[in-house]
Amino acid sequence: MKVLLTGGAGYIGSIMIPMLLEEGYEVKCLDRFFFGEETLSGVRNNPELELIKDDIRWFDPEIMRGVDAVLDMAALSNDPSGELDPEKTMAINYRGRVRVASLAKKYDVSKYILASSCSIYGFQDGLLNESSPTNPLTTYAKANLMSENDALALSDNSFCVTALRQATVYGLSPRMRFDLAINGMTLGFYKNGKIPVMMDGTQWRPFVHIKDTSRAFLKVLEADEDKVNGEIFNVGSNEQNCQILPLAEMVAEAINIPFRFEWYGDPDKRSYRVSFDKIKKVLKYSVKFTPKEGAREIYDALKSGEVTDSKKTRTVEWYKYLIEANKIINEVAMKGEIL
């Protein structure tokens, strides 16, 4: 079975690709490689993996020929990056992904899975499920919701569409992201002896380990179409809905340090608790990892030097850097834009 993974060299994709190869899938990875190709260095020479450097907005549709399933992960992947240039975010995260879904249907791909986000719940009380009202507060969240709507509208008997609303991910990856809560807390302690906590610490967020969210995509890939076609699933577990300040305490406990923290940022406008009953019931999906295990693996990797803190690990800073670098190149060469 041939799978096309967009954004496959990213934080989640670079964990998911080895899993797919291990399971015997042939994989085409289409990515701009904004964070480099080296994130896939462990599998780059695998004959079942094809790397395609291209953009979801304008890749040659022939790339879809012969593909059985698409996992659509490419995006500007968080709120701050999405606000750098909201129009470009819509062009990539919304229209780009709808283009991928539409081309998949046109080329008789049988399954399309969209990497969406629980951030579309925004700020709400109560335990939110897939039928709850949405409240997307940022360009990033709005683009996710619009992509879900348009992609799901394409589903029919021969084109199976599923949207996976992932919780906030944590854990190690070859394209490390320290702009995610648990990862950033662990780094903050490692560097400064204090855990950075976003104000005011009472906000709720659901979390999921990177290997667990990757397994959810594989579950949907393997599931009977009648269970997943036209469906939305929240990806995570009820137990990993956490408030940010107690989460920071949990991180401290995991790495066995006295709890010291420092506030940062403006008071968070987002807070949501999410129900993961549907994915558990319909797909018999359960998570294997906990935030404590995630924090521990990151802390150990920082200590051993397996991962380091660099600009590339903070998504918005890296995109700002690319835009600036491109401006300088453009001034010299007077040609197109990078993003």
Ligand X SMILES: NC(=O)c1ccc[n+]([C@@H]2O[C@H](COP(=O)([O-])OP(=O)(O)OC[C@H]3O[C@@H](n4cnc5c(N)ncnc54)[C@H](O)[C@@H]3O)[C@@H](O)[C@H]2O)c1
Q: Does 241 bind ligand X (CB under 6 A)?
A: no
Q: Please report which helix (H) or strand (E) contains residue 264, including its range.
A: strand 261-264
Stretch touching ligand X by CB under 6 A, among 49-57, 130-138, 220-228, 299-307:
49-57
Stretch touching ligand X by CB under 6 A, among 71-79, 236-244, 280-288, 300-308:
71-79
Q: Which of 3, 4, 5, 12 binds ligand X (CB under 6 A)?
A: 12
**Cβ 124 vs Cβ 193: under 8 Å:** no
219: tokens are 């579950």
Q: Which of 4, 5, 29, 35 binds ligand X (CB under 6 A)?
A: 35
Question: Where do we find the tokens 């903050």?
Answer: 188
Q: Does 96 bind ligand X (CB under 6 A)?
A: yes
Q: Is the dihedral of CA 313, 337, 80, 211 positive or negative?
A: negative
Angle (CA) 123 169 295, round 5°:
115
Q: Does 307 bind ligand X (CB under 6 A)?
A: no
Nearest distance from C-beta of residue 262 to ligand X, angstroms: 23
Is the Cβ of residue 127 or residue 316 nearer to ligand X in the bound state? 316
Question: Where do we find the tokens 């929240």?
Answer: 234
Binding to ligand X (CB under 6 A) within 116-145 occurs at 117
Q: Does 115 bind ligand X (CB under 6 A)?
A: yes
- The stretches of 114-231 forming alpha helices (DSSP H) are 139-153, 181-192, 210-222, 225-228
Is the Cβ of residue 96 or residue 196 nearer to ligand X in the bound state? 96
Cα distances (angstroms) measured from residue 159 to each of 105, 107, 230, 284:
6, 10, 9, 23
Nearest distance from C-beta of residue 72 to ligand X, angstroms: 8
Amino acid type, 45: N
Nearest distance from C-beta of residue 313 to ligand X, angstroms: 10
Rounded Cα distance between 189 and 85, Å, is: 32
Residues making contact with ligand X (CB under 6 A) = 6-7, 9-13, 31-35, 55-57, 73-75, 77, 92, 96, 115, 117, 166, 168-169, 175, 177, 180, 315
